Structure 1
């Protein structure tokens, strides 16, 4: 009997990330501090542009805040008492102590507090793609999934109590739409609740109220979920959207939290219709979560062969010989003018077959021989193996641009070649 072949190993983003020149590490930078190479940075930038646009359409206003804060800030927010073991040590600076922030919410609370607010302005949705830092132990670090410097797609919604349910539902719907666009399948939804110990703020009534709000949101959305004790943030319960890699390992990607604690700590307020001072609720939400973790997941989900709109290089231009270099270089310029990411595979890099193989994960390959150069046509090869009839270059680029703009999954939708 022939032995049964072993199953292919699950894609590992650490191996693929280095093989595809997406990211790497260096001992002098330190563990858990990867750097992004140009192709990896291109994927990251596309995701940043995507989520900023989605948030702006959903009524978010974007801000920037420093990655450092005084220790006193995190004492006020409660991080110092409840989260200190996960923070980097304070740095002495001119008689003060400053800390690399473990979270963006204290900074956004200060931004809200810096101006007076009326009930007419609420909900106020503040979003930021910002850096934060976690003092993770070296034994748990791995590739992009567990790092010490995190770029977080974070937002905080300041709203009235009767707006919380609608805002949380809208945030959950934004998460679901984003997953659909990116081809991410949630493994499960988790209602994360407090557990035993001093990690959590001691206010049972506050916890019950916040948990009831999130439970209503999940029930109203018709989402199946599991309750998990000991997984809440120190200041409030949260909805965690869990993802799983091909090996079945689970991680949290997106979160949605109701916070009744920090508005009180920061003495946040708004003026109500009655002219009196009222306390807002703070809804925390991260759609993509950390850019590092979402890119790691997408690398493994697609095996490094990203959808055309996400691919670091969307079109590889392959002149057959040096005689076609000039029209090939012109085509690359035309692509870049259209906002397409194109790269020239110079004949000096090897045979045409070798260059086609090297570009096998690129969605589109344009082979330019003497016939194509003289006619101004492109002979397109698709990553899935299809070869298309020659097309005028302008028409071919317009169709590729349409697929990219539509964030389509299909490289060449049915009928696009007719």
Structure 2
């Protein structure tokens, strides 16, 4: 594998340093701190992460929904977020000048809206579980001093699913969610260091009965066992509404982050009176399971940039193939290759101007996975000289073969071509 200069020196750049070469995101005082602007290449990374999240959710039987980023203050008072997190929420916005005017709030979490979607109509025990998925923005009024690139922001775009199930389904749903989270990290190449079982401690701040907590904690232990992973128990790290399984990673600087999570919640069903009709005709309380499979787009983008030091896997890279004609005589062949790749839904970049050496250096600076050079001999033979920079492999291949290999690597989310 060809290493970038920082790697050869034993250095690891963080995503903010890498961004100087990659142009993934920008910040501007007029937009505000902690509100990154996703540039065109960053928007590609965002879209690919969103696509991965949607595919994993669909494979688990989740259904997509869309909900507003605003809610009445009363919604978050009902959910308990206002009492617990008011200091971390943006101030209410008054709508209307009279006494009947409403106060709207940017949501700090997506679960209250998802609870409203569930209760929009009655449900039978035979329908459950119902899994509602949304790539949804939520907002935290973080202090300026803790904001950092993409890893600590004020708008969080979260791969968020809420499962509404019967009590006897909790362990299976938690195991399903954990397996999908582990699969997502495997695809992304992010190694989870350990799974943390976050429990409550003796603090009175937690909601729910001791019996509810014992049942939920045991369900999560069973889920981890069924998923084939061990856990490290962490008293005092639970959410205020229930215990959770957190997939933890430790970055090269020793900072620990939660990449994905599975949480049991018996608070929201109580507060929103979420029920189902049981076989005997009685109404029973549903259990809510929060699952974050891929995680937040910002944090995951930062993590993969640092994991690969900017040279992203081909499926995730904003530009997958840099196409460099040696001279104007090969422009037509180069454009034909661009058109063939675009027709397959792939992402080429044509760079015809300047010396070949300078263009190759520019492609390496941009950390593009494949460099395709077309000279007179290649154009005449219908071939292309391809360098797979990450794999350190170079070869001359037919144009159709290159297009097919790139498409296969993209569809299968392979790190590079199968040479």
Which of the five TM-score ranges fits, normalised by the shorter chain? over 0.9
- Counterpart of 1:356 in structure 2 is 360
- Equivalent position of 1:54 in the other structure: 56
Structure 1 equivalent of residue 43 of structure 2: 41
Where structure 1 has 5 or more consecutive residues not aligned to the other structure, the ranges are 1-5
TM-score with structure 1 setting the length: 0.93
TM-aligned CA deviation for residue 178 of structure 1: 1.2
Distance 1:201-1:174 versus aligned 2 partners, 3 A rule: same
Give the deviation of 1:196 after TM superposition.
5.5
Q: Structure 1 residue 386 and structure 2 residue 390: aligned?
A: no
Structure 2 match to 1:3 = none
Correspondence for 1:402 = 408
Mapped pair 1:112 → 2:118? yes
After superposition, the CA RMSD in angstroms is 1.6
Please, which of 338, 346, 350 is the counterpart of residue 352 of structure 2? 346
Alignment check: 8 A CA contact 1:62 1:126 kept: yes
Among 153, 159, 175, the residue aligned to 1:153: 159
Structure 2 matches for 1:78-93, cutoff 5 A? 78-93=80-95
Note the residue ranges of structure 2 that are not aligned, 5 or more in a row: 1-7
Partner residue of 1:214 out of 220, 228, 243: 220
Q: CA deviation at 1:366?
A: 1.1
Q: Do the aligned partners of 1:82 and 1:198 also contact (CA within 8 Å) in 2? A: no
| SS of alignment partner, residue 50 of structure 1 | helix
> 1:76 is matched with which residue?
78
In 1, Cα distance between equivalents of 2:308 and 2:357: 24
Which residue in the other structure is 1:22 paired with?
A: 24
SS state of the match for residue 165, structure 1? helix
Q: Which residue of 2 aligns with 1:326?
A: 332
Distance 1:220 1:334 in 2: 45
Where 1:145 maps in the other structure, the secondary structure is coil
Return the structure number with greater relative CO, CA threshold 8 A, min gap 6. Answer: 2
Residues 242-297 of structure 1: CA deviation (Å, up to 9, x unaligned) = 11212221111101001111101100111111121111100001011111000100
State the distance in 2 between where 1:401 and 1:43 align: 17
Deviation, 1:171, is 0.7
Q: Equivalents in 2 of 1:151, 1:220: separation in Å?
A: 29
- Secondary structure of the residue aligned to 2:417 is coil
Return closer, same or farther for 1:44/1:102 CA change in 2, 3 Å cut-off: same
In structure 2, the residue corresponding to 1:147 is in which secondary structure? Answer: coil
Tell me the TM-score normalised to structure 2 length: 0.93
**1:173 corresponds to:** 179
Distance in 2 between residues matched to 1:340 and 1:91, nearest whole Å: 44
Deviation at 1:216, TM superposition (A): 2.4
Contact 2:208/2:241, CA 8 A, preserved across alignment: no
**2:132 partner SS:** strand
Paired position in structure 2 for 1:412:
417
Residue 211 (structure 2) aligned to one of 179, 182, 205: 205
In the TM superposition, 1:258-337 aligns within 5 A as 258-337=264-343
Q: Give the structure 1 partner of residue 4 of structure 2.
A: none
Q: Which residue of 2 aligns with 1:164?
A: 170
